[in-house]
């Protein structure tokens, strides 16, 4: 993959994250009991967008903890996948590969894998 092709993938991933993270930051989500982790996920996504690897543990929680930021749409897996990919977290490749390609994940999963597998 050329540097230009990679940059286009990064831009697509960033655009998707920026579009989606606002839903997790909404007042309705903030008013919910944050033990579910929605606010923490939004913060971790913003960290990933800023290049801050401190968000990796929180993004991994989406995959590793049964009820952390879990919705019926499973879109949180897409958010976490893209965040981890932007941060270059190759240790999460198997987590991302296991994501069911539904909803947002139809786009997010292959994009995240393309970013990580080409590193």
Better-predicted residue by pLDDT, 106 or 37: 106
Q: What pLDDT is recorded for position 24?
A: 76
| Res. 23: pLDDT tops 90 | no
| Res. 93: pLDDT tops 60 | yes
Q: What pLDDT is recorded for position 30?
A: 56
pTM above 0.85, yes or no: yes
pLDDT band at 49 (very low <50, low <70, confident <90, very high): very high
For residue 43, how many other CB atoms are within 10 A of its CB? 18
Annotate 67-100 with b (16+ C-beta within 10 A) or e (fewer).
ebbeeeebbbbbbbbbbbbbbebeebbebbeebe
d(CA 42, CA 8): 23
d(CA 114, CA 109): 9
Better-predicted residue by pLDDT, 34 or 50: 50
Q: Which residue has the tokens 């960290």?
A: 47
């Amino acid at each position: 993959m050329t540097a230009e092709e990679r940059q286009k993938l990064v831009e697509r991933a960033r655009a998707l994250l920026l579009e989606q993270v606002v839903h997790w930051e909404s007042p309705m989500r903030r008013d919910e009991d944050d033990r579910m982790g929605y606010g923490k996920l939004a913060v971790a996504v913003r960290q990933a967008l800023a290049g801050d690897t401190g968000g990796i543990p929180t993004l991994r929680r989406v995959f590793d903890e049964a009820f952390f930021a879990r919705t019926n749409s499973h879109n949180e897996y897409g958010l976490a996948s893209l965040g981890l990919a932007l941060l270059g977290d190759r240790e999460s490749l198997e987590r991302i590969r296991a994501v069911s390609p539904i909803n947002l994940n139809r786009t997010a999963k292959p994009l995240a894998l393309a970013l990580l597998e080409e590193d």
